[in-house]
Amino acid sequence: MVDVGYCIDLYADFARQGKTYVPFPDPQNYRITLDELHRTEVRERLRLLFTGPLELDPSRRAARVTRELAERLAKLAASLEQAGHSPEQVAGFLMRCLFTMFAEDVKLLPDNSFTRLLQDYRQNLEHFQDALQALWEKMDTGGFAAILHTKIPRFNGYLFKNPEALPITAAQLDLLVLAAEADWAEVEPAIFGTLLERALQPRERHKLGAHYTPRAYVERLVMPTVIEPLREEWEAARTASAILEDAGDEMGARKEIDNFHRRLCSVRVLDPACGSGNFLYVTLEHLKRLEGEVLEHLAHFPGQLGLDMTGAYTVTPAQFLGLEVNPRAAAIADVVLWIGYLQWHFRTQGSAARLSDPILREYGNIKQQDAVLSYTDKVPRLDANGQPVTRWDGHSTKLHPVTGQEVPDETARTIVYDYLDPKPASWPEADFIVGNPPFVGNKRMRDALGDEYTVALRKVYKGRVPDSADFVMYWWYKAADLLAEDGIERFGFITTNSITQSFNRRLLQSFTESNNPISITYAIPDHP
């Protein structure tokens, strides 16, 4: 949009929905005044606007950086595990490393300080572990960090409560240095979580960069489910405010906008199959974009104070709730939300000013739990000799020596558990529900989930979800049930093409008709 003789305002809709254009690159920097046209980066942005607009999509540029980092982390994780460290130790160590790299690139730590520390210890490897642990202990508490020769903020949260560092070789340190030299401020959280989870999981490393839910699919769900309804409320609030302002009621006009801002800062979004947090992060980013517009509108009222992130209300990670059965993925989801939140702060505020103390809060909003089945305990089933009973793990395969086809690898075993006092799982209170629940066809549930789990699940939902339903339908049932109870405003799930099969379609229709939901689903290929 051009105000001739004054400015050019840029708006973008990289999800290509054709409905929601938002200030680009953010609400603080979308306006280009004529006296800025001498700047090379501004002219390049305008050139690409006409010659290659998709090159301006920040997620495309960031995706390249993210893939390269994930590949290096995967190599390092494999190397550390081969050295005898447990996957849990390796995951914790690398997540602390990567967040420290991110912290220096957004100036929460002195510029290049962590990278220099890594480089300096190339000739002093025997003391590297102690030095790194001392840094992380100080990041937990804040204060003067002797290893960096400066005072640093208190990070706290949960990430640095365990400051354990691992001994590493020269080759492993080289991989860390390479990772640290990348621009972590440009990491794309919407895919970083998935790639990091695979990098830290031996069974998934071969899939690194192959298939993940693309950001475009995430936005196709998040926008109509959460953002568009809130934007409709925002338009209504602006209209009401304008009417009051025209009538001379400036205080009432400001209160309309302030009330919507409070609403925005209290909205709770739940992903009951959050994985490594991609859906929650994308929703957080779009809510921060909307908040930026609200704050810009508030700023034109006389006497309006700027946003104070140390005490005033604002959109924070606490509003984004996740359930995830995999403890490693749950931990990554929390880190992804915080990285995304801090990225947004530094893009719009430009400094650590107005950040809360501690920087990371342990909100407990990402819970490691089964989303559909609750139980008091699960105990290993024992055979006649008192040894745990095992079964095929449900996913490991090998090539058949004759056919060359992939077949179950019966040497890959997992323990059989009995589930005590099974009940439907409860979900935290939320206003909106989004996500990509796991799809397992009803005929594969016993292999993938185990006989005992499948039997317990079907038992507790008897009369509500038929035994012949696919696994994903349990998420649909719970979301529709919450909608019927006025517990949520709207929900939407991504699912596979098999949702269109006649039985699942009839079951879905029965849920939606009986509960009258406003729901959105997109069928995508099994391998997007």
Q: 367-419, pLDDT tens digit by residue?
A: 999 999 999 998 888 888 888 888 887 777 888 888 888 888 888 888 888 89
- DSSP line for 406-445: EEE-TT-EEE-EEEES-EEPP----SEEEE-PPP--TTTH
pLDDT above 70 covers a percentage of the chain that reads 85
Q: In the predicted model, is pLDDT for residue 521 greater than 80? A: no
Q: 40-67, pLDDT tens digit by residue?
A: 989 999 999 999 998 888 767 666 667 7
Q: 431-441, pLDDT tens digit by residue?
A: 999 998 988 88
Boundaries of every domain in the chain? 2-56, 59-207, 256-368, 373-378+427-524, 382-415
Distance, in Å, from the CA atom of 227 to the CA atom of 221, rounded to the nearest integer, reads 10
- Residue for token digits 């790639």? 195
- Residue 3 gets which letter from DSSP? E
Identify whether the C-beta of residue 244 lies closer than 8 Å to the C-beta of residue 303. no
Q: 290-326, pLDDT tens digit by residue?
A: 998 898 888 888 765 444 443 468 999 999 999 999 8
458-463: long-range contacts (C-beta < 8 A, 24 or more apart)? 459/422, 460/373, 460/422, 460/423, 460/424, 461/424
Q: What is the mean pLDDT of the chain?
A: 84
Task: Output phi, psi for 416, to 5 deg.
Answer: -85, 130
* Mean pLDDT calculated for residue range 500-507: 62
Distance, in Å, from the CA atom of 36 to the CA atom of 417, rounded to the nearest integer, reads 65
Distance, in Å, from the CA atom of 223 to the CA atom of 55, rounded to the nearest integer, reads 22
Q: Is the pTM of this model over 0.85?
A: no
pLDDT of residue 373: 95
Q: Residue 16 — very low, low, confident or very high, per pLDDT cuts 50/70/90?
A: confident
- Quote the tokens at residue 93: 């160590």
Sign of the Cα torsion 168, 174, 178, 180 reads positive
Distance, in Å, from the CA atom of 124 to the CA atom of 127, rounded to the nearest integer, reads 6
pLDDT of residue 216: 74
In 87-227, which ranges are continuous DSSP H helix? 87-105, 113-120, 128-141, 170-181, 189-199, 215-222
Q: In the predicted model, is pLDDT for residue 197 greater than 50? A: yes
